[in-house]
Amino acid sequence: MFALFNTAQSQELILEEHFDGNQLNEAIWNYELGDGCPDLCGWGNNERQIYAKENVEVKDGKLVLTAKYDGTTYTSGKINTKETIEFQYGTIEVRAKLPIGKGVWPAIWMLGNDISEVGWPSSGEIDIMEYVGKNPHEIHTTLHTPDSHGQSINTQVTTIETIEDGFHVYKCQWTKDFIKFYIDGVLVYTFSPEVKDDSTWPFDKPFYLLLNLAVGGNFGGPEVDDSIFPQEFSIDYVKVFKN
């Protein structure tokens, strides 16, 4: 099931994606492919994977991003809604099941739609969910802003012993005053700096959504357990409400 809705009223559903069928809806989702070279090799984080279309599947009512290793090369999947679904303020809700093992780095996140013009971190980044297999049970929620210079100073690490078991709901509520993050309906972090300017709050503009499964990298860690592959990052649904 896939639906787009009129956004005339406050907090209205503009995207509801349940990944029915057997292929990705390319009217909404863009593939990101390759290793980031030559402009951003390793995707700016020394990540090991090459993104490929065949690692993105829609099956059994789920979006499945699969990280693989063939003994030489790591491949995985990454998609985004750049220039298709972009919005300023709203609520994003994603129900997903994590991959596990040392080296996996799945993420649900957002980037400012002006990133091609202003670069990163001036674009701003909203990390709704990041998980690194080297640190089991921990979910990271982070905001990247120009004043943080790429460091994760605006962040919260939430420990949930059962987070690897089954599906969980990750939600972000974004307004002009604050950004709040929830896991399974429980508020885990609120970001609302007293001074909101271009340096501390690059969040008063449209953003787009990204879903990906990285391997290794600066955050995922230099050590990768090759015996864990393949690993799947499975997404049950994505909902976006625009304020």
- The number of CA neighbours under 13 Å toward the Cβ of 77 is 23
- Residue 82 φ/ψ, nearest 5 degrees: -60, 130
Could you give the C-alpha distances from 194 to 56, 118, 155, 177, 182, in angstroms and in order?
41, 24, 16, 10, 21
Cβ count within 10 A of residue 113: 18
Query: Is-contact 85 30, C-beta < 8 A?
Result: no
* Parallel/antiparallel/unpaired status of strands 50-51 and 74-76: parallel
**125 is an active site residue:** yes
- Active-site residue, selected from the candidate residues 125, 161, 164, 223: 125
- Active-site residue, selected from the candidate residues 17, 93, 130, 232: 130
Active-site amino acid positions: 125, 130
